[in-house]
Amino acid sequence: NFTMESDLSSAFVHRALRSQERREVQREILSVLGLPRRPRPHSPERRTAAPIYMLELYNAALEPAASGFSRAAAAPVLAPAPPSAPTRRDQRYLSDADMVMSFVNMVEPDEDPHMFHQFHRFDLSRIPEGEAVTAAEFRVYKDFVHERYENETFHVSVYQVLREYDDRDSDLFLLDSRVIWAAEEGWLVFDLTATSNHWILHPGQNLGLLLVLESADGDRVNPRVAGLVGNQGPQNKQPFIVAFFRATGVRLRSVR
């Protein structure tokens, strides 16, 4: 009898599921994954920078050596070589995180016609319950500049927009700044941990980020001139935010 039961059980596992069973299985797995229903993204583009970077993180998480990175020193802020490769600092964040999330830039390319700064806005309000931010980064790609600026340095500043006005400039709060060489290439990483926590608590105060570039003389420069890629650049180099989360408590599944 046992052999027969065992054979039946194997047959059950390997046969194709009927549509009703399939729906039940889908519902059960979604429940295990902690999702109320299956997400329905609007034709997501997998070749943009954020999914590529997240896939690199996923692969890094699979590697057994990944945990070794957690004890390594932080990598230089400007990461060369593969455009989306996670830095050692990201690996450290990853090993401590329960969840990592990248956010799509909400600003359409034609919404940001400014010559002397880049404007970015990210919706951080849709975060799964029970998750707290441990680190967040704003990542902007810097292309190599071949032209006359090659030996120059620039000053990059990232500001949080605090208040907007119709008749004058917005109130800004400087988050981070650094000097870059025109000849450098790679991802610029700005720490956004405090700001992202603030935005999650107060979504109404999320008015976006402003990236400003100045020459060594203090003159405003078009970021594109120095190779900083904005929303109009190649998809795999467009700016995005990545945040690392830890679960704040025991996640209980609802009774069904």
Partner 1 sequence: SAPGHKQRNQNRPKTPKHTPPSSQEALRLAEAAENVSVDPKQGCKKHELYVSFRELGWQDWIIAPEGYAAYYCEGECAFPLNSYMNATNHAIVQTLVHFINPDSVPKPCCAPTQLHGISVLYFDDSSNVILKKYRNMVVRACGCH
Q: Which residues bind partner 1 (CB under 8 A)?
A: 2-3, 6, 9-10, 13, 22, 25-26, 29, 32-34, 38-42, 44-46, 50-51, 54-55, 57-58, 61-62, 97-104, 123, 126, 128
The answer to whether 39 touches 150, Cβ cutoff 8 Å, is no
Smallest distance, Å, CB 112 to partner 1?
19
Smallest distance, Å, CB 164 to partner 1?
23
Smallest distance, Å, CB 34 to partner 1?
8
CA proximity to 141, closest of 241, 76, 52, 237: 237
Q: Which residue's CB is nearer to partner 1, number 13 or number 81?
A: 13
Neighbours of 178 (CB within 10 A): 14
Smallest distance, Å, CB 128 to partner 1?
8
Q: Which residue's CB is nearer to partner 1, number 37 or number 71?
A: 37
Q: Which residue's CB is nearer to partner 1, number 34 or number 76?
A: 34
Smallest distance, Å, CB 19 to partner 1?
11
Q: Which residue's CB is nearer to partner 1, number 57 or number 145?
A: 57
The answer to whether 99 touches 218, Cβ cutoff 8 Å, is no
